[in-house]
Amino acid sequence: MEIKALEESVKEILEGYNKRPKGWQFLSDPLGNILALGPESGYRIKLMMINPNESLGVGVKIQDVEPLRRSIGVKFDSGFRPLDHDLSKTLISAVSENRITDLAVINKILQIDPVPIHELERKDLGAVLGGPFLTHPDLRSISRSQLELDAKLSAELDKLFRKRYPLRAGIYR
């Protein structure tokens, strides 16, 4: 298991998503943990907010995502979905009229396959909808292996924080 810098992990996630956008699920928790589960592999990321505009993080690639996928139980794909003008108007109308619980609109949107990011530059799009991106109360609680992985990622993130911000880190010693 190789722990990588946040930037490298995000780059790999984006490359994997753009090659094969279908089959991804993205989950996060309020503790700075992110799971990005792809069709063949996934990533576990640990973030620390430095300030409102900057985060520090580390990540690790996960080869066997099926046990995680089963324990989470998510049945739909996350990603970016292009909406035509009519569906965009329907969605905006449902939101503005407080009818967002209209399952027909949500199901119609979820039936649209996620697309690579470069396809979002088309001029004929009505809108782009990202998601669903799920929030979990505590991703460490999914499994014992996730709890153990969290301890390793937290230790690496702490080392990175102390290296990059020694004066700030000294306050917490």
Residue among 39, 77, 31 at smallest CA distance from 57 = 31
Q: Are residues 127 and 91 in the same domain?
A: yes
Q: Say if residue 72 is in the same domain as residue 150.
A: yes
User: Could you tell me the two tokens for 26?
Assistant: 């993205």
- The answer to whether residues 21 and 49 belong to one domain is yes
- The model's pTM: 0.87
Question: Residue 12 is part of which domain span?
Answer: 1-76+133-173
* Same domain (yes/no): 138, 118: no
Helix (H) or strand (E) holding 9: helix 6-19
Same domain? 126 vs 143 = no
Are residues 24 and 67 located together in one domain of the fold? Answer: yes
Residue 153: phi and psi, rounded to 5, are -65, -40
Residue with tokens 């702490």: 158
The span from the CA of 6 to the CA of 127, in Å, is: 29
**At 128, which helix (H) or strand (E)?**
strand 127-131
Q: Are 125 and 137 contained in the same domain? A: no
> Residue 114 has what DSSP assignment?
P
Per-residue confidence (pLDDT) for residue 21, from 0 to 100:
97
What's the average pLDDT block by block, 10 residues per block, for the chain (173 residues)? 94 97 95 95 95 94 91 89 88 77 79 93 84 91 92 95 83 65
pLDDT at 102: 63
